Each structure stands twice: as structure tokens, then as C-alpha cells.
């Protein structure tokens, strides 16, 4: 049997871009900061919570994606 491969485009841009990855241990956090560019967070394992400028926490888990627009 041939394994199935699913390819999903994450980024396509005509402008310079940065794509990085962060790995947090259980209980880890990224402090609140204002990003100078739009941000996309893809949760690939575990669960946690995120918040934006509205100061409202939203639960996230593996399989979720969060996008913050730059103002």
C-alpha cells in the first residue's frame, strides 16, 4: 500500500518573509508582545491559551490555528 501524503501550503508571498518554529515545554509561555507584522500560530501538539489586544484568553489545542492581524 502506498502511504498517503497531504501537503498544505503555509506561506506564499512575493515579499520577504520569516517562518519559524517554537517549542514550549509543559507550563511554558511566551510573554505578551506586540508583533510588528501579522502572525500565524499553528498548534501541533498539546493545549494552552492565547490572547490578543482584547485581553481575552481563548483555549487552543493541537490542530488549531490562530492569526493576528497587524494594526
Domain boundaries, the chain: 39-66
Q: What is the pLDDT of residues 10-23, one digit of tens each?
A: 778 888 777 888 88
Predicted TM-score (pTM) of the model is 0.70
Q: What is the pLDDT confidence band of residue 59, given thresholds at 50, 70 and 90?
A: very high
Judge whether 69 and 38 are in contact, CB under 8 Å.
Answer: yes
Query: Is the predicted pLDDT of residue 71 greater than 70, yes or no?
Result: no
Share of the chain above pLDDT 70, in %: 99
| Buried/exposed code over 40-70 (b: 16+ C-beta within 10 A; e: otherwise) | eeeeeeeebeeeeeeeeeeebeeeeeeeeee
- DSSP secondary structure of 22-42: ----TT--------SS-EEEE
Say what the pLDDT of residue 34 is.
Answer: 79
Amino acid at each position: 500500500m502506498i502511504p498517503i501524503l497531504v501537503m498544505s501550503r503555509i506561506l506564499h508571498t512575493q515579499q520577504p518573509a520569516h517562518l519559524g518554529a517554537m517549542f514550549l515545554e509543559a507550563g511554558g509561555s511566551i510573554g505578551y508582545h506586540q508583533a510588528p507584522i501579522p502572525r500565524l500560530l499553528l498548534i501541533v501538539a498539546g493545549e494552552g491559551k492565547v490572547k490578543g489586544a482584547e485581553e481575552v484568553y481563548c483555549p487552543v489545542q493541537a490542530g488549531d490555528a490562530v492569526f493576528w492581524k497587524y494594526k
